Amino acid sequence: MEGTQNAFAAFGSNRDGKKGTRQIVLGLLCDEDGQPVSIEVFPGNTPDPHTVASQIAKLKERFGAQAITFVGDRGMIKSQQIADLAKQGLHYITAITKPQIEKLLRTGTFQMDLFEQELAEVLADEGIRYVLRRNPVRAQEVRENRQAKLATLQALVAKHNHYLAEHPRAKAQGALQKLVARAITLRLSDWVELTVAERTITLTINEDAQTEAAKLDGCYVLKTDLTPTQAPKEMVHDRYKDLASVEQAFRSCKTVHLEMRPIFLRREARTRAHAFVVMLAYQIIRYLASCWSAFDVTVEEGLHALTTLCLVEVSPHNAPSYHCIPTPRDAIARLLHSADITLPKAFALSGTRVSTKKKLQSERPAQ
């Protein structure tokens, strides 16, 4: 990334560590292709937006970046971070919250009909651009989720009504309070009204309020200070969607393959070293994924297939013994060849004993 002109840096942070273990915040910096270039560990009480300043300094000083656009989600890049980026001559791409979208609609900065376009943009004051889109797949998911919540609440109303009918001494007002609290938890209270009359609870749907609540389903708005000449709206949108690569990196590092958490390390240097080694391992996962994509096999499946490789000891007559790997099956040979891996014909074992994760528990000295 050194000396890069008009490059994009995607950044995200994620909290790690369960209760009783070392709480940390991981900051991961990726290039526009999703390739991790830096990982940094912060104390667990560091708010996510406060991790941005060190990344700005790193890009300018360590990587020597001249023109970088920072891409982060709405919880990462806020007003203070935007001001810090402007001081360094850097640009940003982020998203705005639903209340911010509603405010801009009320002030007339943009209108709802723009969301009907495939991808719309609005140039506002002070050089700020907004890129608008409605994702129909996400909109359908939100509608289905809302209907599922409504069905849950309706079932609870029917259950309470049945109980009230069979138990004359039960208090209808108490049941109503429980249902109202449940409606608030399900975020239905803006367009669902619950009333009680003659020990029967009734659920009423306010159609207008329901339509108002659903008007922004699947809608999102991106915000940037890049000019149309520097980055067309399609590029702004694509670069923001590249944040998915950061999320994929966190998912792989923490759960899928590498199982970074829980962290039992206590010393700061060891915790940082652990995070660094995990990032290097993730680089290997990305490399294997690109090599094995043509075989319709995931990295996890490919690594599982490679576990069938075994080391055997050969003891010929009148010659020293040696270790080797038998010729692998065709499927495994293809995986190795595509990853440009050549197995050695013989191994000279040093006799070093390696402790596995399971053995470490029994080898620790008793407290």
> What are 246-288's pLDDT values in tens digits?
777 777 776 666 666 655 666 778 878 888 888 888 888 888 9
Are the C-beta atoms of 224 and 146 separated by less than 8 Å?
no
Residues 6+ away with beta carbon under 8 Å from 95: 73, 74, 220, 221, 222, 223, 240
Rounded to whole angstroms, the Cα distance separating 70 from 56 reads: 9
Range of the domain at 238: 7-94+233-282
Is residue 333 assigned to a domain?
A: yes
**Do 247 and 187 belong to one domain?**
no
With the C-alpha atoms ordered 295, 300, 305, 311, is the resulting torsion angle positive or negative? positive
Q: Looking at the 3D structure of the chain, how many domains does it have?
A: 3
**Do 173 and 321 belong to one domain?**
no
Is residue 112 assigned to a domain?
A: no
Is residue 124 assigned to a domain?
A: no
Is residue 324 assigned to a domain?
A: yes
Task: Quick: pLDDT tens for 158-186.
Answer: 999 999 999 999 999 999 999 999 999 99
pTM of the model: 0.69
> Omega before 262 cis (within 30°)?
yes
Q: 321 pLDDT exceeds 90? A: no
**Do 149 and 88 belong to one domain?**
no
**Token pair listed for 52:** 């941005």
Task: Quick: pLDDT tens for 79-117.
Answer: 888 888 888 788 889 999 999 999 999 999 999 999 999
- Put residue 218 in one of left, alpha, beta given phi > 0 → left and psi -120 to 50 → alpha: left
Is residue 302 assigned to a domain?
A: no
